[in-house]
Structure 1
Amino acid sequence: MSVSDAPAPPRTARKARTGAGPLLRVLQVLLLPVLLILGWWAGSASSGSFYMPTPAVIAGTFGDVWFGERILTDALPSIGRLLSGFALGAAIGVGLGVVLGLSAPLRAFSEPVLEFFRAIPPPVLVPLLMLLIGVNTPMKLAVIVSGCVWPILLNTIEGVRAVDPVLTDTCRCYGIRGRRRLTTLVLRSASPQIMAGLRQGLSIAIILMVISEMFASNSGLGYAVVEFQRSFAIPEMWTGIVLLGLLGVVLSLLFGLVERRVLAWYHGLRAVTRDG
């Protein structure tokens, strides 16, 4: 019997193979977190340390802490400052990066100054910004922007510089100039690196949001974690740390959805190139 004459696999078998992909993906996503939680549970239960409560204690405390007033006084203000600072840093980084990427003389002129400011750790600026701006929301936004702007700026510059010269000449030949050239060629060509810079900037923004609230603040997730630590409310302190981790996961997933939508053309082109 030839291969073409072989009987088709049963429908149930085809369904099983079809469903194996999503099931395997779910196992891959959940396996490591489950193992880490079990390891944490075993370690904390055996040690009996006051400073390392079990996941059951933290889970039981989580709802009491964050499903009440604190979500309005601490969590939401932190998320608002985080998103505002990140949006401002993205606007500055992409805007300035496009200008510097398109102009080699301007890029060479500003490079020493940019390298100087990039080398300064953003947490060091917190005391200075407190003196100049005050202990308020603008100071916290300035701290977030001072750190997250750099990966966005540098990736934008490199993305704009790497625009295909052939495509640039093609736009020139067809008279595509000004804003149309910027949107159809420059930003689209540089968008993969811009999105990479935005993803890095988002991670840095979360860190700096917490740091700015730990130094001098009366609200926010960073303030809450420090307040719980100082009052020896250890399970409550751990709930703040867990909430920050969950916030990072949610923002990463949302950013991934936006990235796939923005770079759909890029991923499609890579798939065609790979299959070809």
Structure 2
Amino acid sequence: MALRALHILLLPLVLVGVWWGASVATGLYYLPDPGEIAATFVEVWGSERLAADVLPSVGRLLGGFTLGTVLGVALGIVLGLSARLRAVLEPVLEFFRAIPPPVLVPLLMLFVGVNTTMKLAVIVSGCIWPILLNTIEGVRAVDPVLIDTCRCYGIRGRRWLTTLVLRSASPQIMAGMRQGLSIAIILMVISEMFASSSGLGYTIIQFQRSFAIAEMWSGILLLGLLGFGLSVLFGVAERRVLYWYNGVRAAARGE
């Protein structure tokens, strides 16, 4: 256990050491040393900025991701169960999926305005696609034998949907949600950089424009820590949801 913890910490420590050495050797104004960034981090983000910028950004991130998950899973189930509907809508879905979500920001600003709804729409427009597509494939991959078995035992309706379809598709749904979460973090920052008066993206771009370099790096560090923390929490939730699936895989490997 101690050896594994050492392996996990070793690479970050090496990278910090390389960064520190490069900042001292070059003396670049735009590359402050990690000590300065750490001190600035505590000073900037330990103040009222936590409530003014960080919490609203996290709220928009989680709200957009939750909405994208609900829409993606719901539409994915419908399209996964209906081959005819899927064939009709597939060209349209492929067209909209190919549009980079950041280019929708100016359009959404015109139709929705510069507000929280616009930022949520930007996040949803990007994170919904991996969830939707993975849900469709997961529903399509449900074992036909299990479908026939449920039909024989009279399992229909909502019980059939939750017991068989969602349970069978849950590994792929969770994989899509993991991808969607990383996209949601990116789009949260982009939406705040384009049009906002608060939030992490807005604050970082203001630091850059005012040449507050250490403060800018501290914001980037905070985003990295936020993404890492959310990934860890998602991993815990994923293991709880897919405990049965992980158990089946472990049994198949003979563990």
Assess same fold via TM > 0.5. Answer: yes
Q: CA RMSD in A?
A: 0.7
1:44 aligned residue: 23
Residue 91 (structure 2) pairs with residue 91 (structure 1) = no
1:231 positional shift: 0.4
Which residues in structure 2 correspond to 1:250-265 (within 5 Å)?
250-265=229-244
Residue 43 (structure 2) pairs with residue 64 (structure 1) = yes
User: Structure 2 residue aligned with 1:150, among 129, 135, 150?
Assistant: 129
In structure 1, how many angstroms separate the alpha carbons of the residues matched to 2:41 and 2:72?
37
1:31 positional shift: 1.2
In structure 2, how many angstroms separate the alpha carbons of the residues matched to 1:135 and 1:25?
47
The gaps in structure 2 that reach 5 residues or longer are none
The gaps in structure 1 that reach 5 residues or longer are 1-21
Equivalent residue of 1:89, what SS? helix
Matched pairs, number = 255
Taking only the aligned residue pairs, the percentage that are identical comes to 73
Letter in 2 for 1:69: E
Residue 149 (structure 2) pairs with residue 170 (structure 1) = yes
User: Structure 1 residue aligned with 2:139, among 153, 157, 160?
Assistant: 160
Letter in 2 for 1:229: Q
In structure 2, how many angstroms separate the alpha carbons of the residues matched to 1:216 and 1:174?
55
* TM-score computed with the length of structure 1 as normaliser: 0.92
1:159 positional shift: 0.3
Equivalent residue of 1:120, what SS? coil
In structure 1, how many angstroms separate the alpha carbons of the residues matched to 2:226 and 2:178?
14
2:163 aligned residue: 184
In structure 1, how many angstroms separate the alpha carbons of the residues matched to 2:25 and 2:68?
45
> CA-to-partner distance for each residue in 1:82-105, whole Å, 9 max, x for gaps?
000000000000000001001100
1:24 positional shift: 2.1
Which residues in structure 2 correspond to 1:215-234 (within 5 Å)?
215-234=194-213
In structure 2, how many angstroms separate the alpha carbons of the residues matched to 1:236 and 1:37?
18
Q: After the TM superposition, which parts of structure 1 deviate over 4 Å for at least 4 consecutive aligned residues?
A: none
Equivalent residue of 1:275, what SS? coil
Q: Which of structures 1 and 2 has the bigger CA Rg?
A: 1
Q: Which sits farther off after the overlay, 163-172 or 195-204?
A: 163-172
